Amino acid sequence: MVLKYFSHSAFQITTNDKKVILIDPFLDGNPTSPVKSDHVNADYIILTHGHGDHIGDAFKIAKRCNPLFIAVNELANYCISHGFRAHNMHIGGAFNFDFGRVKFTIAHHGSMTPDNYYAGEPSGVLITIEGKTIYHTGDTGLFYDMKLIGEMNKIDYMLLPIGDNFTMGIDDAVRAVELASPSVAIPIHYNTFPMITADPMEFKDKLQKLNRNCVVMNFGSEISI
Ligand code: NI
Ligand code: MN
């Protein structure tokens, strides 16, 4: 599969059989994304929570592509109320889709839509495709259950925030990597706005001192995994 990072928390996964999964596609209002929503397609859109910098352009893309939304129950129902297709899940639950397996985890954060609807609990998500497991933590503070998540899942790629203020900062994110023990850590949710300025190379250096692998993905870049 190919993992593409738009910036912020927004990713695109393209499977070997060309299914396209978007995660938190915040593109048009995102000053750091080199890709805008008109140039993105989706078969599935996974949302970690209801904040505007995560729902982003999901509905705009969905009007054109008719993807299946995957989210916790309340947020999935919000998508359905806007006329879209959704698969309702919740934290702790997993489901096998035709592209792979999705399991929702806890995240310590908030979740309300831009128009002030309650969107259920915020979440992280474990996505297993083609034998590889990606853990996108969503927006979250550090929590010790990341250790359990790492013990129960062989995490290949952990996508986790380092921008501080709303989420973990660098030092907490380093601890999160130690707890979940992924093969590779990828920093997200930084430098989008001045309030979440962080140096991803500082994160990488701190992890390297602990013999942990980190890949800093440039905004708009992709890797084959
Ligand atoms: Ni948020
Ligand atoms: Mn956010």
Assign 163 to helix, strand or coil.
strand
- Shortest CA distance to 15 belongs to which of 134, 112, 124? 134
pLDDT at 120: 98
Would you kindly state where each structural domain of the chain is located, as residue ranges?
Answer: 2-224
pLDDT at 80: 98
Sequence-distant (6+) residues with CB within 8 A of 28 are 36, 37, 56, 57, 60
171 CB burial (10 A radius; 0-12, 13-18, 19+): middle
pLDDT at 209: 98
User: What tens digit of pLDDT does each residue of 24-46 get?
Assistant: 999 999 999 999 999 999 999 99
CATH of 2-224, one of 3.40.50.970, 3.30.70.260, 3.60.15.10, 1.20.120.1200: 3.60.15.10
pLDDT at 79: 98
Which ligand gives the minimal distance to the CA of 113?
Answer: 1
Question: Residue 211 C-alpha to ligand 1 middle, in angstroms?
Answer: 30
Report in angstroms the alpha-carbon separations of 66 from 8, 69, 141, 172: 24, 9, 33, 38
Question: Residue 51 C-alpha to ligand 1 middle, in angstroms?
Answer: 5
The total of other beta-carbon atoms located within 10 Å of residue 83's CB is: 9
Phi and psi of 157, rounded to 5°?
Answer: -130, 125
Please say whether the beta carbons of 160 and 131 come within 8 A.
no
pLDDT at 64: 98
pLDDT at 187: 99
Give the Cα separation of 72 and 56 in Å (integer). 17
User: What tens digit of pLDDT does each residue of 158-189 get?
Assistant: 999 999 999 999 999 999 999 999 999 999 99
Report in angstroms the alpha-carbon separations of 149 from 131, 132, 144, 157, 185: 17, 15, 9, 13, 15
Give the Cα separation of 134 and 125 in Å (integer). 8
pLDDT at 112: 97
Residues with CB under 5 A from ligand 2 (ion): 53, 139
Question: Residue 53 C-alpha to ligand 2 middle, in angstroms?
Answer: 5
pTM, entire model: 0.98
- List % helix, strand, coil for the chain (3-state, nearest 5): 25, 30, 45
Q: What is the average pLDDT score of the chain?
A: 98
Tens digits of pLDDT across the chain (225 residues): 999 999 999 999 999 999 999 999 999 999 999 999 999 999 999 999 999 999 999 999 999 999 999 999 999 999 999 999 999 999 999 999 999 999 999 999 999 999 999 999 999 999 999 999 999 999 999 999 999 999 999 999 999 999 999 999 999 999 999 999 999 999 999 999 999 999 999 999 999 999 999 999 999 999 999
Question: Residue 51 C-alpha to ligand 2 middle, in angstroms?
Answer: 6
Give the Cα separation of 79 and 86 in Å (integer). 7
Please say whether the beta carbons of 11 and 3 come within 8 A.
yes
